[in-house]
Amino acid sequence: MPKERPIIVKAFTVTPDTTVGDAIDLLQKHGVRCMPVVDADRKLVGWFSFMQVFKFMLPAAVTMEGGLSHIDFAFDTAPGAAKRLGKLQDRTVAEVMLQDCPRLNADTPTWEMLRLLMQHGSPLPVVDAGSEHFLGIVSDQSVLESLEEVLKDLQAEGQV
Amino acid sequence: MTGMEQQAAHAVAALTTQSIFGFSPMVVGTAVLLGVYGFIIWDRINQTIVALMGATVMLLLGLINHELAMQGVDLNTLFLLIGMMVIVGMMQKTGVFQFVAIVCAKLARGEPAKILALLTLITAVFSAFLDNVTTIMLIVPITLLLAEQLKLSPYPFVFAQIFASNIGGTATLIGDPPNILLGSAVGLSFNDFLMNTGPAVLVILAVFMLVMHLLWGRKMVTSDHAKAHLVKYNPWEALQDKVLLYKSLFVLALVIVGFMAGHSGGLGAGSVALMGAALLLLLDCYPHHSKEQSHRVHEAFGKVEWDTIFFFIGLFIIVAAVEQTGLLNMLAGQLMALTGGDMERTAYYILWGSALPSAFINNIPFVATMIPLIQSMADAFGGPEAIKPLWWALSLGACLGGNGTLVGASANVMAAAYASRAGHSISFMKFMALALPLMLLTIAISHVYMWLAYF
């Protein structure tokens, strides 16, 4: 990974004890879909996103392993979903976050990075391999911009 | 056969007759069998692995040879299981289970007591014709949703469905693996089960539904708002694939007719089931091109529970080996001595004696072991026809016994797992406190039924 093009970029983070209500406000305020959950020791402990909130707005019968594969037979479910959203407001991020989120290291090779982005979506957190300290995120934009710079260099050298 | 005949037969088959590490083959065989039971109960190691390892040990120790082991594997049972698994696997894609559950909720106009009764009934009916575990896997999630929408605890619903699946499965040849084993080994037909265990099941189901109503149903209260919301559900949206559903129901009907008529025509149930699976696959695949067909067939066979199939294979070999040692003949003799050769008493012993172990251990190994044991009593009682009541006793005891605890049957374990995933864990003791007495009640009803029907 070329050192001069930062693939790992900064991200807004949230602490595990923040309330879900406040965390959703943060997502909306910063205009992002997700945030890494980082504890006081700067360790990555989870991933918070709208998807995690949606999961709790659905009945357990749908989200559990082996649960209902679709629920289009249920009508008039907006009030039910809204009520669940209301109940979530005071819970903490720790209760709702994705705990075993996929993560990259600083020296994950580019191909593997691309493959993981394809598999899990963008962005993905980067942690230090030994200490699990949060270093930043890799996003589809950051990877693409970095590789575009690499391509420019290669073209300038006549290799492409 | 006599000891000498057995020795001669063993010598011909090149089986061990000498001692193994200083013990007789019967002792060693019994030890391996008990070891297999023990590991299955302990659940530290997956039961399929245990069964296959048990078979390995039997073969390595010379307690059975390759030829007899292969003969012991009952292909008719395996084909019946596989064929039905393919058919059910394709039926579940249609969303029919969810459809029926929602129709029940609407028919009941959201009334919890009626929904409890209807869901219990349809679970029993599904379980009679399709395997219990799949029925539970497909009916429990929609039940959990309905209970949640009604703001009721799902426990009564799940409890009732566990019982209903085991009760319903007792009524037919294909409803529960013990019946499949029994039917295949002894030559009992679909009609035989329907005529013999069927009536008992009807009575037991009716009594059970009454108990459920008195215990829980009549006390269930929910808001009119929740009821009205449930009634708005559209069951037709739950049906994913109407065409496949019609094809599946058509094939299922043919298969059942095949079971009923085929037995006398020399057509085994296993063959009928495989033919049905093949037909359904053909109906599903013929409009598509080769690659898509390949994908569909692969997917259909992927739904077969191969671990269950190999569990059966391992078990067949183990029981065949144990049979060779003469253990089961000996136990049969002891049972006869206990009952004084009176068939009525023997039947009751088998009924109650199957129910209690079946509550605590998986009933399949137990039934697999009991079949040759009871078969060896045939001559003493006047032939295979005469001991038929003993088979009904075994079927009722082993199938209904599975209701006694959360681990008594695979369907129970599956239901408990689902309830737990949805945040409503069922405690082993709480379940048993009600389930064990209720199960004993169903056995008592069976006892009366047998007394009236056969003696």
Count of CB atoms situated within 10 Å of the CB of B339 = 17
Write the ipTM.
Answer: 0.82
Which residues of chain B neighbour A84 with C-beta distances below 8 Å? none
Q: Which domains, from first to last, does chain A contain?
A: 8-156 (3.10.580.10)
Which residues of chain B neighbour A61 with C-beta distances below 8 Å? 141-142, 144-145, 148, 422
Q: State how far the Cα of A78 lies from the Cα of A48, in Å rounded to an integer.
A: 23
Query: How many angstroms away from the CA of B106 is the closest CA of chain A?
Result: 12
Question: What six digits make up the tokens of B86?
Answer: 């393919």
Nearest CA in chain B to A72: B237
Contact (CB<8Å) B145/A72: no
Poorest-confidence range of A5-19, B98-112, B391-405? A5-19
Mean pLDDT of A18-37: 94
Which residues of chain A neighbour B234 with C-beta distances below 8 Å? 73, 75
Residue B85 lies in a domain: yes
Give the pLDDT of residue B12: 66
Q: What pLDDT digit, counting tens, does each position of B407-446 carry?
A: 888 899 899 999 998 889 999 999 999 999 999 999 999 9
Whether the pLDDT of residue B348 is over 50: the answer is yes
Residue B29 lies in a domain: no
Whether the pLDDT of residue A4 is over 50: the answer is no
Which residues of chain B neighbour A78 with C-beta distances below 8 Å? none
B148 touches chain A (CB under 8 A): yes
The answer to whether the beta carbons of residues B197 and B228 sit under 8 Å apart is: no
Paired strand residues for A104? A126
| Among B31, B78, B24, B30, residue whose Cα is nearest residue B314 | B78
Domain count of the fold of chain B: 1
Which residues of chain A neighbour B423 with C-beta distances below 8 Å? 60
Q: State how far the Cα of B202 lies from the Cα of B172, in Å rounded to an integer.
A: 12
- Please enumerate in sequence order all residues whose Cβ is within 8 A of that of B36, keeping only pairs 6 or more positions apart, or say none: B50, B51, B54, B318, B365
Residue B295 lies in a domain: yes
Nearest CB to B421 within list A59, A65, A72: A65
> Mean pLDDT in chain B?
91
Q: What pLDDT digit, counting tens, does each position of A86-119 carry?
A: 999 999 999 999 998 999 998 899 999 999 999 9
Query: How many angstroms away from the CA of A39 is the closest CA of chain B?
Result: 27
Question: What six digits make up the tokens of B154?
Answer: 């799902």
Kind plus residue range of the DSSP H or E element containing B322: helix B306-325
Query: Which of A63, A73, A95 to mutate to probe the B interface, most B CBs <10 Å?
Result: A73
Which residues of chain B neighbour A59 with C-beta distances below 8 Å? 144-145, 148-149
Q: pTM for the full model?
A: 0.87
Query: Which of B421, B424, B425 to mutate to probe the A interface, most A CBs <10 Å?
Result: B421
Which residues of chain A neighbour B236 with C-beta distances below 8 Å? 73
Give the pLDDT of residue B363: 85
Nearest CB to A60 within list B229, B233, B422: B422
| Among A53, A55, A46, residue whose Cα is nearest residue A23 | A53
Residue B354 lies in a domain: no
Q: What pLDDT digit, counting tens, does each position of B223-281 carry?
A: 999 999 999 999 999 998 999 999 999 999 999 999 988 877 778 899 999 999 999 99
Domain that holds residue B195: 76-302
What backbone torsions phi and psi does residue A135 show, to the nearest 5 degrees?
-110, -30
> Mean pLDDT in chain A?
90
Contact (CB<8Å) A66/B144: no
Which residues of A make CB contacts under 8 Å with B? 59-62, 64-68, 70-76
Q: State how far the Cα of B430 lies from the Cα of A40, in Å rounded to an integer.
A: 42
| Among B354, B399, B448, residue whose Cα is nearest residue B181 | B399
The gap between the terminal CA atoms of chain A, to the nearest Å, is 19
Give the pLDDT of residue A3: 44
Whether the pLDDT of residue B341 is over 90: the answer is no
Residue B208 lies in a domain: yes
- Per DSSP, helices labelled H in chain A are 20-30, 50-57, 60-63, 78-88, 93-96, 110-120, 140-156
B142 touches chain A (CB under 8 A): yes
Q: What pLDDT digit, counting tens, does each position of B169-194 carry?
A: 999 999 999 999 999 999 899 999 99
